[in-house]
């Protein structure tokens, strides 16, 4: 019983010390928290709250939490089986090149304009949402401004590119289609 009373007194003393320091505006201690398996530290409660808010905001994409995907052969097959021919051509062109200009993609897919390319990308994005994924888990887009015009460069993520090589996309798919 004596030990419990001492523990209670120590808890009360620490709580009062904490409130006093906080009331005076003194930084108390480093705050450590975990987010998605990684530990983060902040010096004040405000910094910790701001950092946690930033991390949670960066996790949210299209209203759903983004979880990093490892592109397995099955996941790549699910993607390819769920998209249309234009999206497959888009992915095939990106798989064969480290970076492609949007105008080259338009020509390679056989589209009439970059507006049509936007439709292809939109269709791919819809399929990715069905798979609980976002476009930034498949490709990146770099925009370069030249005067008043801009050029877009698309690049497939390395992990997906490696998986496409593993499953033989697009070569094996093209030979299958021709048979």
- The pLDDT tens digits for 15-65 are 776 667 667 766 556 677 776 666 777 767 777 777 777 777 776 654 545
- Is residue 90 within 8 A of residue 120, CB to CB? The reply is yes
Q: What is the mean pLDDT of residues 66-90?
A: 84
Question: Quick one: pLDDT at residue 1?
Answer: 45
pTM for this model (two decimals): 0.60
Mean pLDDT of 91-100: 92
Q: Domains in the chain, start-ordered, CATH in brackets? A: 2-61 (no CATH), 73-178 (1.10.10.10)
Buried b (16+ CB within 10 A) or exposed e, 74-111: eebeebbeebeebbbbbbbbbbebeebebeebbebbeb
Task: Over range 137-161, report the average pLDDT.
Answer: 91
Residue-level pLDDT at 99: 93
Angle 86-90-94 (CA atoms, 0-180°, nearest 5)? 165
For residue 32, what are the β-bridge partners? 41
């Amino acid at each position: 019983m004596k030990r419990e009373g001492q523990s209670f007194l120590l808890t009360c003393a620490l709580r009062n010390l904490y409130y006093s320091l906080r009331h005076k505006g003194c930084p108390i201690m480093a705050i450590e928290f975990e987010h998605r398996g990684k530990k983060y530290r902040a010096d004040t409660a405000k910094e910790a709250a701001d950092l946690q808010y930033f991390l949670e905001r960066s996790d949210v994409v299209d209203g759903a939490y983004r979880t990093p995907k490892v592109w397995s052969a099955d996941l790549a097959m699910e993607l390819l089986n769920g998209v249309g021919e234009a999206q497959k051509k888009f992915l095939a062109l990106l798989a064969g090149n480290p970076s492609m200009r949007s105008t080259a993609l338009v020509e390679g897919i056989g589209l009439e304009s970059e507006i049509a390319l936007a439709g292809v990308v939109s269709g791919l994005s819809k399929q990715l949402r069905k798979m609980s994924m976002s476009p930034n888990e498949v490709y990146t887009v770099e925009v370069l401004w030249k005067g008043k015009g801009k050029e877009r460069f698309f690049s497939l993520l390395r992990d997906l590119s490696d998986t496409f090589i593993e499953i033989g996309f697009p070569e094996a798919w093209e030979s299958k289609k021709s048979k």
